[in-house]
Amino acid sequence: MVKYKFNSVTLGKGFIALTATTLTIYLAVLLLGEYIPSYLKNFLLIYLLNVNVFAIIASTISMKTLSGIKLDLACSDNLESVEGLDTPIRIRFSSKRISHIIGINNVKLKSDRGIRVSRWSLNEEGFVELYLSGYPGTHKVHGFNIELSSLFSIYRIYLDVEFDNPINVKFIPIKHKPKFNIGAVFPHIQIFEGRSSRRKGVGSEVFSVREFMPFDDFKRIHWKASAKVGKL
């Protein structure tokens, strides 16, 4: 089951754009009133009035329709996907016409930090699909906050949705394998054994000299230093 409530309703970008357009045309009519015929002036003012009234009435009707719908979870409580692939949470609205009267602006999950909403969609069947992506492991999703816009974006509606039982989303990690074997391509290079040349054995550079020990190799004797000191 899904519980939801409307947190708040504010004015959207459509209302700001409509108000700015109306004021611009109205000021232009006032300033250029002497050069505009009276019938054209009356037509513009009546047209602006009708557009504003229609937009507000249509948005109010869409708001009323939205307040009467119901939400239902249309997916399993346990979701599983592979790391790097999105898995969807499907929410069904009771009205299929909801996609024609509202739009989704933003979605924020109520979950841990290892998971997020990568994208979302609202189809004509009344399904809201939230595609989740995250780090490997199991994550719990308790709900989400969604920002909706009414018709013509006159209003913005903030909807708070909570699940009765949290949804468990599991992302299976992928074991990354090297694309090629360096040792097979370059057999003379052995990175982890300390050799980077075709010749095997110890290096030719001298870092320090000490006395010869019984278990040392004769090939490692520094003959010039031994001749100066008089002993190995």
Domain regions of the chain by residue span = 1-179, 182-229
User: What pLDDT shows up at residue 31?
Assistant: 86
Whether 95 contacts 113, CB under 8 Å: no
Q: Give the pLDDT band (50/70/90) at residue 122.
A: confident
pTM here is 0.63
Residues pairing with 167 in the sheet: 141
Q: Which of 5-19, 40-54, 209-223 has the lowest mean pLDDT?
A: 209-223
Amino acid at 157: I
State the Rg of the chain over Cα: 36
Q: Which helix (H) or strand (E) holds 33?
A: none
The predicted model gives 127-135 an average pLDDT of 89
Q: Give the pLDDT band (50/70/90) at residue 139.
A: very high
The predicted model gives 66-89 an average pLDDT of 84
Give the tens place of pLDDT for each residue, 146-187: 998 888 888 888 989 999 889 999 998 877 555 555 555 555
Arithmetic mean of pLDDT over the chain: 79
CATH class of 1-179: mainly beta
Distance (Å, rounded) from C-alpha 230 to C-alpha 225?
Answer: 8
